[in-house]
Every structure is written in structure tokens, then in C-alpha cells.
Structure 1
Amino acid sequence: MRYIVIGAGAGGGTIGGRLFDSGREVVLVARGAHAQVLRANGLRLELPDGTSEVRIPVADGPEDLTPRGDDVPVLAVKTQDTAGALAVWGSFGERPAVVCAQNGVENERLALRRFRDVHAMCVWLPSSHLEPGVVRAPCAPLTGMLRLGRYPSGADDTTRRIATDLAGSGFAAPVKEDVMPWKYAKLLANLGNAVGAVWGALDDDPALELTRRAKAEARAVLDAAGIAYTGDEDPAQERRDRMLMRPVESASLGGGSSWQSLTRGTGSIESDYLNGEVVLLGRRLGLPVPVNETLQRLANRFARERRDRAG
């Protein structure tokens, strides 16, 4: 298989780098200064066990590649960029299997409009990308937990081949025929991303209380909608012995993915598809979700104004 990682940031860069390092064929799709550094110097992949400079092929878009029958595009952009990526890559080759290695639950629906064979990945992968050409992933001995299944349900030989490659590249990659309840559970966990982005921390009492209330609203609307989610959105027991946070060579990891978007001044943030997913369901069902509405609005304002924290 040739993995075409569309969005070589924190998650995509780590997945692509680890796959390539283990001997799999990978192409990173990147743009701007990040793409320039990747071409000139390779990907600097910083892990607790050491740093590697990984010389992975880089593409700007599908025009740089000749389609192959074993291609597997891996969508790793933020959800607000998914429609644009699909518009570019949706006609690539013979509509191969595509993997949505992304937060939120909207990406798979969007991908299914373009690709017949969509695989959903529930990504537990602490990582950061704050400077061109560099990604940091501080967990060991496993780099991340990547649950994988077909969308909307099931699994096939392609699912299992991808999972095998990931498991041989430093990840836990269990195949889940009911993967979407895991993704909805991850959505619950990601509702605090806006809190961490706007307040700059998640560990003081006001931030913890806001996150607790956002999750309570979300559980209420998911239950009312009859949407299943796993009982423990942060499977700490499962990960405790296999994903230990350890120092990497250079700077600290920093905050979550939304915090990183504000820190890099990208001008956009994924809150419309995290807190905004709860808002959408709440409005459809006529249920109030004021905490998630407020967090969505604040995160979007901070992104638009390129502010990196409150005060």
C-alpha cells in the first residue's frame, strides 16, 4: 500500500513518519513553509526514544502523483479543511479506500460523497506541530491508539491490512466494526479543546468546570438523539502501560490541537465540528446547549482575530 497523508501536521506527520520509518511507502501532502522544509530537510520526528530526520516524498497535490491501485489516502486535515481537500482529491485515481484520521464525526459523511470505501479512525495521539518540518509525539512505548473500522460500520481486508501496518509502526491499531461510538466518545473528550485554546489551560477549576458542563450537555443530546458512544471517552486504563507521556528532545508538547491552531495563527479552528456538533444536535432536538454555544463562539472569535489566549 502507498499511504498518501493529506495534512502532514501533528497527527498526519506522526502517522506518516512512523509508517515510513517502519518501511511502508508514504507520501506527505503539505503546503507553504512546512512543505518547503520537508523537501529540503525531511521530516524531523521527535519521539521519547530519539529524533529522526525522515526523508519522505512530498506532494503539493494529486497532480504530483500517478495514481496506483494500492493507494490509500489518509485525511489528516482539520475538519474545516475536509471539504476543500475532498474537492481536490475526490477524483484521484479509481476512488480508492480513504481513511479519516480526524477528530469529530462529520468527516466520514463528507468523504462518503466522494469515496465508496471510507474508513473511520478514532485517533488518540498526543502530538504537536508548531514549526515547519517538525512534529513531536511524546508517548511510548506506543506512539498512539488508532482504532479503525469501515464507515458507517464493519471491517474488511483493507481495514485489517491498514491496521497491521499501523501496528507494525508503533501504534495500537485495534479493528472496530463499531468504530463510530468510539469517535463519538472522542468527540466528548475533545469538547474541552476550546477551553484549553481560549484559557490556555485545562487544569484549573473554572476550566475543568466548563469542560464538565460541556460534556454533560453533549451526553444529553447524544442520548436524546439515540447516538451510541462508548462508556469511557478517555480509556486511560487501556493506555496506561502502553502510552506513557515522556519528554522529547526539544520543546514541550504544548496544548491540544485547537490550542496549536491558535498558537500558529492559522485563522481557523475546528470548534464548529466539536462543540458545534453538539450545538447542531441541540438545535435539531430543541435542547439548550449554552456552554457549547459559548465555547464555539469564543474559539471562532479567537481564531478570526488570531488571538492565542484570553486576557
Structure 2
Amino acid sequence: MRFVVYGAGAVGGVIGARLFQHGHDVTLIARGAHHEAVRDGGLRLDTPDESVTLPIPVADRPAKVTFRPGDVVLLAMKTQDTLPALTELAAVAPPDIVVASAQNGVENERLALRRFPRVYGVCVLLPSAFLEPGVVQAYQAPRTGGLDVGRYPDGVDGTAESLAAAFADATFAAEARPDVMRYKYGKLLMNLGNAVEVVIGPGERGADIARLAREEGEACLRAAGIDALGGGGMPFQVRPIRGRARGGGSSYQSLRRGTGTIEADYLNGEIVLLGREHGVPTPVNDLLRRLANRMAHEGLQPGLMTPEEFMAALDGSAPG
């Protein structure tokens, strides 16, 4: 089994690095300066216990990969980039290739299933970072995080069990679960706080706003009849790397890198969508979504407003 990790940033880069480090066949797909750095000098993985540079094969697009029977494509880009990525992949990959979504949100699997029949969901609990080309960081060690996996929309088969075994061999807590999407909906509730880190900044200042966002999310899932499991926290302790703590989650890192896009439409926006479909108000998530998108578009850094300013904007007494 070869893993073709499509999107070698914080999550994909760390998973690919750990798999490669433990003897698995891995090819990365990365873009731009990150691709060039990995191609020329390898991928550096920093953890609380080590810093290692790994000579992982890398391509800059699916068309540069010669796909083989038994390959697994591990999607690890942000959801706003999934559709064009799948379009490129479908043009060159065998139609029966295994596609596994190691991504936040719950939309990616549906997008993949339109193009490929063998789709798997991976519930990712992985505190990681990618802020400079050629370097990814994992803030848990010796266990790196959690990667539960199951077939989409449900079920467990030999492929799911093989994926879970490979992840477990590569320092992840991993189980094959027939109801993996219930865990991904639980993770979605956690990820509603990503936009809070962007708008308010990381730390405890935005805790009350994150709680309100989650309460809206839970109400929407109940109204939609969607059962969510897990999402209660990381399975192991997050530790600093060379004395520096992890600064923030994936959306925070997108703003720090100035990517110009953010995944709020598929996290907070998923709750807004469910609320509109089922008649549940979602003002907190909608404002977080709009503000996060505006900040990404304008190239702003995290920490746009205080919690008090956010609540004033929510009440309509300040521009949102």
C-alpha cells in the first residue's frame, strides 16, 4: 500500500512524515515553495522529542504521480480547495482508487464520492503546524494524535482496517469505525472554535463565544437528526517544541500564512446551512463565518476584535 498524500501541509505533512518514518511507501503532493523545499532538501518534521529531515518523494500535481494498484490517496487540503483537487485527481487516477479524507468538516467525503466509489472518512485529532516551506510540526509525542477511519457513508471493511493498522504503526491512535462520520460531526463541533481563534485570537478570551457557537451547532445537529460522537479533546497531552507552544489551529495558521482563503464556510458555515434548512437560528456562527472570510480576503492577522466588540456586532450595534 502506497500513500499518496495530497496536500502536505500541517496535517498531511505530519501524517506523511510519520508513515514514511515507519517504513511505509509515501509520495507527497505539495505546491509552490513548499514543493520546492521538500524536493530539494526533504521534509523536516519537528516534534517535542526530535527534529528529523525525511527524503520523501514529492510531486507538484497528481499528473506527475504514476498511480499504481493498491494506492491510497489521502486528501489533506482545506475543504475550499477540495473540488479543484479532486478534478485534477479524477483526470489521471484509476477510477477505483481508494480516497481517504483526513480533513476537517463533513463535506469532503460527499465531494469525493461523486467521483470515486471507494471513499473513507478519517477523523483527525492532530495538533500540528505548517508555517514555513519544507517544515511541519507535530505537538504530541511519542503518540502523534488520533486517526480513526471508516468507509463512507458507513461501514468497516478490509481497507479501513488496513488503513487503521498503518496509522497505528506510524504512532497514531487509530481504530476502524463503522460510524466514523459521527466522530467527524463531533470534531466539527470542536472546529467551530477555529473562527473564534481568528476573530478574537487564541487563548481563553473567546471561550464564551466558542461555547455559544457550539450550542448553536448542537441545536442544529439535533434538528437535523444527526448524531455526533467524540470531539471532546485531544487523546494525548500537547507539548511545546523547543520551548514554543503551538500558536493556534488550522484556520489561525491560514491567516498567519496569508493564504487568502479560510475554511469557515465548511465549519461554521456547515452549521449555518443546517440551521437554514431546519429553522434553527445561528447568528454566532454566521457572524464568525462572515468575519473570518473577510479577514482572509483582506489579508488581516488574527485578533480583529475583542469579545465585547463581537457581542456588540452580534447585537447589531456595531458593523459586522
- The two structures have a TM-score, normalised by structure 2, of 0.92
Cα displacement (A) at 1:286:
1.8
| SS of corresponding position for 2:237 | strand
Pairing 1:102-251 to 2, within 5 Å after superposition: 102-204=103-205, 207-230=206-229, 232-235=230-233, 239=235, 243-249=236-242, 251=244
- What letter matches 1:191 in structure 2? L
- What letter matches 1:76 in structure 2? A
2:128 and 2:212 map into 1 onto residues whose CA distance is 26
2:167 and 2:242 map into 1 onto residues whose CA distance is 24
Cα displacement (A) at 1:250:
7.0
Cα displacement (A) at 1:38:
0.4
Cα displacement (A) at 1:62:
2.2
- What letter matches 2:88 in structure 1? V
1:303 and 1:31 map into 2 onto residues whose CA distance is 19
- What letter matches 1:151 in structure 2? Y
For residue 297 of structure 1, what is the aligned residue in structure 2?
290
For residue 29 of structure 1, what is the aligned residue in structure 2?
29
1:164 and 1:233 map into 2 onto residues whose CA distance is 22
Contact 2:239 2:245 in 1 (8 A): no
Sequence identity of aligned pairs in percent?
A: 52
Q: Deviation per CA, 1:54-95: give whole Å up to 9, x if none.
A: 110001122212221011000000000000110000241243
| SS of corresponding position for 2:270 | helix
- What letter matches 1:6 in structure 2? Y
2:22 and 2:280 map into 1 onto residues whose CA distance is 48
Of 90-99 and 276-285, the range deviating more from structure 2: 90-99
Contact 1:12 1:76 in 2 (8 A): yes
2:97 and 2:162 map into 1 onto residues whose CA distance is 14
Contact 1:17 1:54 in 2 (8 A): yes
Q: Deviation per CA, 1:264-295: give whole Å up to 9, x if none.
A: 00000000000000000111112210000000
Contact 1:16 1:26 in 2 (8 A): yes
The answer for unaligned runs of 5 or more in structure 1 is: none
Contact 2:63 2:88 in 1 (8 A): no
1:264 and 1:285 map into 2 onto residues whose CA distance is 36
1:203 and 1:72 map into 2 onto residues whose CA distance is 39
Q: 1:235 to 1:261 in 2, by over 3 A?
A: closer
Q: 1:250 to 1:88 in 2, by over 3 A?
A: farther
Cα displacement (A) at 1:251:
4.8
Aligned CA-pair RMSD = 1.2
Of 246-255 and 144-153, the range deviating more from structure 2: 246-255
1:42 and 1:250 map into 2 onto residues whose CA distance is 24
